[in-house]
Structure 1
Amino acid sequence: MRPALATSTSRLITTPANVLRCFHKSSMSVYILSLLVLVLTLMYCCIKIKANSRSTNIYTINCTASCDTRCSETKRPNLCKRACGSCCGKCNCVPPGTSGNYEACPCYFNLKTHNNTRKCP
């Protein structure tokens, strides 16, 4: 008799309508609240990922052409182009003109050598 009772009880619980009846209102509230927290967390993560992707450059500049312009009036063009190319590779920017204008590219301005002198021309 017991096995038949257990089988009939298990059949009752496995139907979708009976599964919903088994949930109490409080457990359904916890389930809905958990889903809400999950959805809000996923939305927050998506917003953070989009914000971070906007702050990074998705393109790189042509360092060779930019450094050719930057070093066009120097007395030592090979040295200038080598240093400029290294700085451009790290910062992905070169200030406009042949000298100065460092405010356009603070990373370029702030790079230093081992002697704590400015690395970038």
Structure 2
Amino acid sequence: MELKYHMDEVGVNTEGFKSGDFPVVVSFEEQYGIGHKSGNLLVTSIVGDVGLTLKMILKKMRKSYDDILMLVDFERNPEKNKRFEVIQINFVIKSNNVEEDIKEELLETIYSESPIIQSVCNNIDIKLTMEIQSGNEA
């Protein structure tokens, strides 16, 4: 897969995404308008990937859910150019069909099956936790 990126005075912009151009900016100064900071994109990429991995696992297990919320916290090291050191992701699953006793299995499978986690885990400590809450009665 090949993507094209252009750099201008604002930052970097992509071409070729189905959803349109995707600006990556250094700052959110008013003169530049909207865009995304690269650090936020890194975290979002990891969270998006683990979320989709969880969704795939639950589908294979034939487990339904009403909602999945992912709460994220991260630590950066100011002494190492703001390097990402830890990213903590807590899944909150609302479901009457996902049992407490499969949480550890889900977390281990997410960690081992996520291509993004496997790409960064030697440099960033990725911590996954999970809560299961009762879902909506239909």
Using the size of structure 2 for normalisation, the TM-score is: 0.24
**Larger relative contact order (Cα-Cα within 8 Å, sequence gap ≥ 6):** 2
Higher strand share: 2
Using the size of structure 1 for normalisation, the TM-score is: 0.27
Higher helix share: 1
